[in-house]
Amino acid sequence: MIVLARWVVARRWWVVAAWLVLTVVGGIAAPKATAALTYDFSLPGQPGYETNKDITAAFGNGGDFSPILLVVDRPDPAVAERVTTAVQSALPGSRISSYVDQPELLRDNLGLILVYPRPTPGGDAYVAALPVLQQIAEQNGATVTGKDALATEGGGGGGADVLAETIFGGAGALIVLLLVFGSVLALMPLVIAAASILTTFLIVWGLTAVTDISFIVQFLLALIGLGVAIDYALLIVTRWREERGQGLSNDDAVRSALSTAGRSVFFSGVTVAVSLAALIALPVPFLRSVGFTGLLIPVMSVLASLTLLPALLSLCGPRLDWPHRRSADPESKLWRRVGTAVVRHRWLSAILATLVLLMLAAPVLGLRLGQPTNASLASTGGKAGAAITAVDNSGIGSGVSTPIEILTTDPAGVRAKVAAADGVAAAIAPAGWQRGDQAIVLAWTSQDTSTGEGEDAAARVRTVAEDAGARVGGTPAQDADFAVATYGNAGWVVLIIVVVTFLLLARALGSVVLPLKALLLNVVSLAAAYGITVWIWQDGHGTELLFDQSASGAITIWVPIAVFAFLFGLSMDYEVFLLSRIREEHDNGHDTDDATVHGVARTGRLVTSAALILFLAFISLSQVPTTEVKILATALALGIIIDATIVRGVLAPALVAALGEANWWCPRKHRSDAGIPSA
């Protein structure tokens, strides 16, 4: 690090110029990169996905694209005939079935017309078809509903402006930084964040030319990049001010900050990158793209923090530290009191913190993976919401919004067997739904497939149909395959992350005990984040107040693994910041208790400020109108706050104090050459 610091200071103008070029080019590339992102959720080799591909190829629609439902009050056969004719004329190639041909779609005063339009590429498969169907429905006294119509009505169909979300997060970060620094230095971390984010977009644009990159990357890259880059810059700038306050010249302070806090940033960034890169081990292209682009976020943030930031500090750091309203002393009186209290009552602090975390984690035992229920999507109001509620209450079967498509050569036989399965509301085999010797049987469950009962019923349908020699597709089958592909291999991801993280921390901290403790704390921290997310979203405690939406009924399938990858790395940042400072104080001659108090006092404000910035970034992410992104943002926002306060602020220092000198045990051959970073 010292060599790098000297090199950067000696070539500061060249470093700034290089980053300026990258940032400008990245700004030009960012909109091109976001336009090239895909909305593909492919699962190569999984039977449900392969069946859906074949259905879409043969029929031009359906598969993992759910139908649009046209709801008709006081159904009249003439209305169904007019609507069918109009749809066939306006949307050629659509697959249609109505209550005239299939009495299973008729209940008392409510009838359904199912329409499978041809999907269009992009994030909204029915962006062209929905307006046409809504016009036809209005002309015939019907109402359009279904999963896609509900998402569009709730504001999730038109996408979201990643720039607006990033600006919102950046404004919140600036407020926090102004409180931390009390000077123009508050702008420095934002400059580093802008440079690292835009440069990463430039790289992602290049990657889109050779592989598919998921649309979700733009939000994670922008907002998590904002938080991580600011975290690292905040750490280095704080240490630079401390060194300046102790009398070092500006360039010497830059070199000292980089050789201490810079090492912490390096190890933290590598840990975050490893946790994200581990997603590449999953056989799911969507998550793989998140993994190998997500690892770019901490890598570029580290590069910018270790090169551009020291160059800028060397050029104009002292002039930016105006007005100097904050002391250069990094110790916080509040956090010194907290650290003293925690160390004095170490066992009580550890027990109470553990109990709180276990209480927060308890709801995770009821975790259910799936898509948001009809009731949750309908709670945003509107005609589509009222129509799907009427369908749910009609007795037709709530699962009709996400039916199971069965590809078979024996439609009559398969239909009879599937219809008899427990939990199935109905099964139909429309005469026109045939291509060659292959026909489609459509079955749906009595309960919403996002509920436990509906999910179980869909699984029974799949078993019955496959036993009869048929192939099963539709949204429920692909969701089940996604869970198997993701979580059936999650053990390898966790193992890779744990092993590499342990080795990195053992090397960084010169201890075997501290990395083990850090890994255990991360397990508890993650469990608490999962639990509170289940309690809020799945169980519906606070969703009405916070999001004007009822309970989702399930946690989106890909959210837990994404939360694990991001929170594991981000929370490890704080562990490295805290433990490296405690280690430094211990190496300077303090006993473990005093070193712990000093470490908490010197990093508490830093960690909580960094966590607050990330919290605001994730709050910004929660403004995206898509429910699954809201769930992800909730888990990340609350998880990072829980980790920074209860886990790193109380439990971690309490355990360090409780273990005493045992914290520092390490085999001699490792300890003798360990390069101990410092915050």
Report the b/e string of 178-200 with b at 16+ CB within 10 A. Answer: eebbbbebbebbbbbbbbbbbbb
Please check whether residue 629 lies inside any domain of the structure.
no
Q: Is residue 445 part of a domain?
A: yes
**Residue 319: strand, helix, or coil:** helix
Residue 407 lies in a domain: yes
Is the dihedral angle over the CA atoms 525, 530, 533, 539 positive or is it negative?
A: negative
Could you tell me the residue range of the domain that residue 416 belongs to?
A: 379-483
| Residue 221: inside a domain | no
The whole-angstrom separation of Cα 202 and Cα 205 is 5
SS3 52: helix
Could you give the count of Cα atoms lying within 13 Å of 500 in the half-sphere of its Cβ? 19
In whole angstroms, how far apart are CA 38 and each of 33, 144, 180, 407?
A: 10, 27, 39, 27
Structural domain contains residue 418: yes
The pLDDT value given to residue 529: 95
Q: Whole-angstrom Cα distance, residue 315 to residue 322?
A: 15
CA atoms within 13 Å, Cβ hemisphere of 57? 9
Determine, yes or no, domain membership for 306. Answer: no
Tokens for 653? 């220092």
The whole-number pLDDT of residue 465 equals: 95
Amino acid, single-letter form, for residue 469: G
Phi, psi (degrees; rounded to nearest 5) at 666: -160, 140
The pLDDT value recorded for residue 156 is 55
* Angle formed by the axes of helices 652-659 and 592-621, nearest 10°: 160
Asked if residue 470 is part of any domain, the answer here is yes
Q: What is the CATH number of the domain that holds 392?
A: 3.30.70
CA distance 275 to 295: 8
Domain tally for the chain?
Answer: 1
Which phi and psi (to 5°) does residue 405 adopt? -100, 125
pLDDT of residue 158: 46
| R_g (Cα) of the chain, nearest Å | 28
* pTM for this entry: 0.83
User: If residue 106 lies in a helix (H) or strand (E), which one and from where to where?
Assistant: strand 106-107
Q: What is the pLDDT of residue 675?
A: 45
Q: If you count them, how many residues does the chain have?
A: 679
Burial 635-670 (b: 16+ CB within 10 A, else e): bbbbbbbbbbbbbbbbbbbbbbbbbeeebbebeeee
CB-based contact 443:406 (threshold 8 Å): yes
Tokens of 464: 């019955």
What whole-number distance in Å separates Cα of residue 553 and Cα of residue 538?
4
Q: Strand, coil or helix: what is 472?
A: strand
- Positive or negative, the CA dihedral 618, 620, 624, 626 is positive
Contact call for residues 305 and 233 (beta carbons, < 8 A): yes
For residue 323, whether the previous peptide bond is cis, meaning omega lies within 30 degrees of 0, is yes
Kindly state the tokens that stand for 196: 């690292």
- Does residue 456 form part of some domain? yes
Token match 């009398």: residue? Answer: 247
Strand residues in 36-100 grouped as ranges (E):
68-73, 95-98
Residue 664 has which token pair? 């520092």
* Angle between helical axes of 559-587 and 490-509 (0-180°, round to 10): 10
- Residue written as token pair 């398969």: 414
- Contact partners, residue 203, CB within 8 Å, separation at least 6: 296, 300
Low-confidence ranges of the chain (pLDDT < 70): 154-162, 165, 324-330, 381, 668-679
* Alpha-carbon span 305 to 196, nearest angstrom: 9
Q: What is the pLDDT of residue 328?
A: 59
